[in-house]
Each structure stands twice: as C-alpha cells, then as structure tokens.
Amino acid sequence: MTESQPTIFLSHGAGPSFFISTKDMPQLKGLDKDSAAADFFKTLVAKENLQEPKAILVISAHWEERVPTVQTTKSPSLYYDYQGFPEATYRLSWPAPGAPDVALRVKTLLESSGFKCNTNSERGFDHGVFVPLVLVYPEARIAVCQLSLMGSLDVEDHLKLGEALAPLTQENVLIIGSGFTTHGGNMLEQPGPAAPWTLEFQSWLHDVLTTPQYTADDRKQKLIRCKTNEFFRLAHPRIEHFLPIVVTLAASGYRAGRVLFSEFFSKVGILEHYMF
C-alpha cells in the first residue's frame, strides 16, 4: 500500500540560532540550542510517531523565483544564507541526498495544474531547510528537494500551488513548509509581554488553521483576505515567511490543523509549528 503523509509547517528560527548558545548571543534566548524550541525538533519524529517518508519536499521562505522552480540537485551542498553568526555555524554539515525523481514529479503536477515550472540542478539547501532538518533528521538519510516560492508573493497563487502538490501526500512524500509564525522587524530586540496585536494575530491564525467546522473554502477565503487585517500586516510586513503555511495547508486538502508547539520568545515574536 502507498503510505500517506501529513503536511507540516515549521518555524525555522533566526538564522542558525538553534546551534548557538546564549553565552555567545544572549539576544537569541528562546531560539538557542538549549531552548524548548530546539528540543521540539529533536523529539518531533518520536513524539508524533512520524512514519519515514520516501522523500521530503520543502517549501522555504528563503527561495523566491519568478515562477515555481524545483531543485533537481543530486547531492545538494548547504547554502549558508545568513550573516553575523559564530564561525562554527558556517561549518554545519548535513549531507542528505537530493530527490531529483520527486522534483520531476513536482514539475509534472504543477504543469498539469497550469503552472510553468522551472528546474535548478545546482542549488544547495538554504537554512530554511537544513537548520530544522539537521535536528529533525540528523542521520541525513532521507532524500530531500526544495520548491521555491513564486515572486508574486500572492496568497491565492500559493494556495493553488499547494493544491497542485496534494497528490504527493498519498505518495509517501512529506511536505514541509519552513518559515516563521511572525516575521516583523526587530523581533529579537523587543523583550517583554506579548504586544496586543501579536495576540490578535495568533488568535486569528489558530482560528483559520485549526477550527474543525470550517470548509476548505472558509479557510481559503480567510487567508486570501489576510492583508485586510492590521495585525497581519504588523506580523508580516513582507509575506514570504507566512506563505509556507499557506502552501502546506492547501497541500493537506485544507484539513483542520493541530498546533504542535507555541511560544512567545519576545513581545512581537511567536514561534509555532503546525501539522495538517
């Protein structure tokens, strides 16, 4: 029988924060290597009894292209796309194999749904991929490929993208969206009690993603209208870290999700993970 997989959204931290001690960078408290957030990744597979997938497809906030572009690299390197962190974080290693066969399946699915889809056979894994997955799958055995966001950064476009990917969940491919629950300015520099708008945003997001009574169209319409909310614009002045949530929800068939982890690490910073 073909194994089915859930879809998962992960908040991937601040650069390589989950590999850094607060002794070296105190401002990373709550996102550091000794945090509950880091422990979550290490225990995710066992705690949620995740079955080993044939491959993993990651949609990361850190790759945008004019049209959807899928990574066909056979042995991806790591792309250290961050600056100003301890030197050791530029020596992280995670030699997971690429998944060019799954990438071509992604291309077929997208083109069948009316998308133009390009391929990239040279790109390595950006930190939206390797930072969480080094901790979740440290053995680096499972094949992985990435799919870019679209340059439009349009919610409706990315809902359609996720819908096109849905068959993969029935083909033993684990789809992971990697972004951040909130991604406003100066998240690390605003300690203290949660700002009122972050509580509004969190309540809205939980409602959209987890309310079991909502139909697929209910969720879609709420997401399409997201920018009409001031709290949303404060949580995501630019939307690229939110769109992986959109894609993973749509790829699940708009199932009601479950919050796997939720924590405020600053007045305006929320770190959450979801399973659909």
Q: Model confidence over 4-53: pLDDT tens digits?
A: 999 999 999 999 999 999 999 999 999 999 999 999 999 999 999 999 99
Mean pLDDT, all residues of the chain: 96
Q: Distance between CA atoms of 57 and 138, rounded to whole angstroms?
A: 17
Output the pLDDT for position 162: 98
Query: What local confidence, expressed as pLDDT, does residue 2 receive?
Result: 63
pLDDT in the model for residue 9: 98
Which residue, chain included where needed, has tokens 């799919």? 147
How long a stretch of residues is the chain?
A: 276
Nearest alpha carbon to residue 236 among 224, 225, 227: 227
Distance CA 238, CA 38 (A): 25
For residue 171, count other CB atoms closer than 10 A to its CB.
16
For residue 101, the SS3 value is helix
- At residue 193, the pLDDT reads 85
pLDDT of residue 69: 98
- Rounded CA gap, 191 and 59, in Å? 30
The answer to whether 168 touches 104, Cβ cutoff 8 Å, is no
CA angle 135, 139, 144 (to 5 degrees): 80
SS3 56: strand
Q: Which amino acid does the sequence have at 134?
A: V
Evaluated on CA atoms 122, 128, 130, 136, the torsion sign reads: negative
In this structure, the number of other CB atoms found within 10 A of the CB of residue 193 comes to 9
Which among 233, 224, 225, 62 has a CA at the least distance from the CA of 149? 62
Q: Which of the residues in the chain have pLDDT under 50?
A: 1
What pLDDT, on a 0 to 100 scale, did the predictor assign at position 143? 98
Which residue is associated with the tokens 């945090």?
A: 35
SS3 content of the chain, % helix, strand, coil (to 5): 40, 20, 40
Determine which helix (DSSP H) or strand (DSSP E) holds 149, and give its type and residue range.
strand 143-150
For the chain, the straight-line distance linking the first and the last C-alpha, in angstroms and rounded, comes to 21
Helix (H) or strand (E) holding 47: helix 36-47
